[in-house]
């Protein structure tokens, strides 16, 4: 006696493909805007050092209140310094749009830019 397997006549379930998600841009383990990420990449491609920094309004990263954004530490913005000269031993005299900044144990001439935090999405008001 021969046994026949029953066959299914309806269409098989096919899950819908996942929608592509917007890429998450990160620098130094922090979420940043696309504009900030591309500015850092452009600075590095130009052969310059790039420093990412946060303005710590609420202490350090280990002591952030639950009501404060953990990405920007409550400062509502993130900063990027693209080095134009350095490292220097003495405080440099700013020229044009450059300014003096202390990073990694030395003085540098940098072009500084501030960007809004993409997590709390607050606008920078100067």
pLDDT at 70: 81
Identify whether the C-beta of residue 48 lies closer than 8 Å to the C-beta of residue 87: no
How large is the average pLDDT for residues 99-117? 88
How large is the average pLDDT for residues 104-108? 86
If one compares 75 and 5, the residue with the highest pLDDT of the two is 75
pLDDT at 35: 92
pTM: predicted TM-score of the whole model, two decimal places: 0.67
How large is the average pLDDT for residues 1-8? 63
pLDDT at 24: 81
The pairing of strands 50-54 and 30-32 is unpaired
Interatomic CA distance for residues 52 and 50, integer angstroms:
7
Interatomic CA distance for residues 85 and 14, integer angstroms:
58
What percent of the chain shows pLDDT beyond 70?
72
What does the pLDDT look like over 35-78, one tens digit per residue?
Answer: 999 999 999 998 988 988 887 655 455 566 677 788 888 788 88
Q: What is the DSSP letter of 123?
A: P
Q: Return the SS3 of 24.
A: coil
With cut-offs at 50, 70 and 90, classify the pLDDT of residue 126. Answer: very low
How large is the average pLDDT for residues 74-99? 85
């Amino acid at each position: 006696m021969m046994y026949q397997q029953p066959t299914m006549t309806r269409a098989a379930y096919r899950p819908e493909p996942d929608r592509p998600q917007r890429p998450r841009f990160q620098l130094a383990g922090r979420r940043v805007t696309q504009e900030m990420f591309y500015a850092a990449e452009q600075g590095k491609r130009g052969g310059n050092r790039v420093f990412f920094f946060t303005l710590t309004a609420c202490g350090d990263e280990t002591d952030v209140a639950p009501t404060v954004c953990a990405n920007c530490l409550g400062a509502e913005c993130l900063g990027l310094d693209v080095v134009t000269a350095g490292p220097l031993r003495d405080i440099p005299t700013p020229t044009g749009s450059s300014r003096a900044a202390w990073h990694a144990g030395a003085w540098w001439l940098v072009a500084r830019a501030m960007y809004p935090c993409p997590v709390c999405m607050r606008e920078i008001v100067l």
